[in-house]
Amino acid sequence: MTQTPRRGRHGRHFVENRQRAGEAPPAGSPPRRRRRPGFALIAMLVALVGVGVVTTSVVAGLPSSSGANTPEQAVDGFLAAIYDNHDPRAAGRYVCERARDDAELDRIVLRVSQQAEDYPGARTTWAYPPIRREGRTAAAEVTLTMTTANEQVASRELTFLLVDDGGWWVCDVRAR
């Protein structure tokens, strides 16, 4: 018959009491383990950071993964974001992922904003004939027209290349 060891005076509680009193534990006894709130604190911080990232992406309106319903909506949405709203993030929602460059969109909007300051009262409009579709790609021949307050007019011809990848996206803009 095996005898169960008993914990008497020199059991776990005796050792903990001696350590609290500043005495060294008896030789050969295992070191005392303290419960640390570190793991729980780290887990809570990770959860808070995760919630913050998700909230920021929703509030900031990161580019959606659906694209526009038509090539026309992609072109109009992109140009309105640049010329009407001066919003590079909104413009990015119409640009395909492989071509999206936030820094470049920031530069474009900055140039357009500076142009609006240089020519107060100016307005930019755009027009295009029916967009040519070829399967999952399309090309839009766009004429941008800026009219100043004193009726001076400047035009620029652009070609928008669009791709249907779960929605229509602007993937390239070229001067003609």
Specify the CATH number for the domain of residue 154. Answer: 3.10.450.50
Q: Given this model, what pLDDT does residue 66 score?
A: 86
pLDDT band at 132 (very low <50, low <70, confident <90, very high): very high
The parent domain of residue 93 ranges over 71-175
As a whole number, the mean pLDDT across the chain is 79
Q: DSSP labels for 125-137?
A: EEE--PPEEETTE
- The tens digit of pLDDT for each residue in 21-77 reads 555 656 666 666 665 555 444 544 444 444 443 333 333 344 446 899 999 999 999
What lies within 8 Å, CB to CB, of 65 at 6+ separation is 166
Q: Given this model, what pLDDT does residue 37 score?
A: 56
80: in domain: yes
Run of H or E including 51: helix 38-60
Query: What residue type is 44 in one-letter code?
Result: M
Count of alpha carbons within 13 Å of 27, Cβ hemisphere only? 0
Tally the domains of the chain. 1
Residue 8 has pLDDT above 90, yes or no: no
For residues 70 and 93, give the distance between their C-alpha atoms in angstroms, rounded to a whole number: 14
